[in-house]
Amino acid sequence: MATINNVKPLSAEQLFNLLKTEFGDYINGKLGSNLSIEYAHVYDEINILFPEVIEGPALNITVSENELSVTLLATGADYNTALLEEHLTGFLEEQAG
């Protein structure tokens, strides 16, 4: 699990909108890929799914007033989920810091 200080601060809804509009380009640029990404948002929780390579939610972000917590959900996947988590954390640090 990674924790990022929510300095700006971003609400869960603001972060959800940023993820939908900017995260795909960010991670695909970093990986040199064209991953399909889906998002699910309920209250202060955001799940990120990569349906072409991982079954079910891969990552979860819990948003609070002071921090964003990233949890890796797809621990048994064949795909390099640690790399996805690393790039998500980098994106969040840029957006929230």
- Contact between 96 and 22 (Cβ < 8 Å): no
Q: What is the pLDDT of residue 9?
A: 86
Both tokens of 46, joined, read 């955001």
Confidence (pTM) = 0.92
pLDDT band at 79 (very low <50, low <70, confident <90, very high): confident
- Contact between 12 and 69 (Cβ < 8 Å): no
Tens digits of residue pLDDT in 28-67: 999 999 999 999 999 999 999 999 989 999 999 999 999 9
How many domains in the chain?
1
Residue 77: give the domain boundaries: 2-96
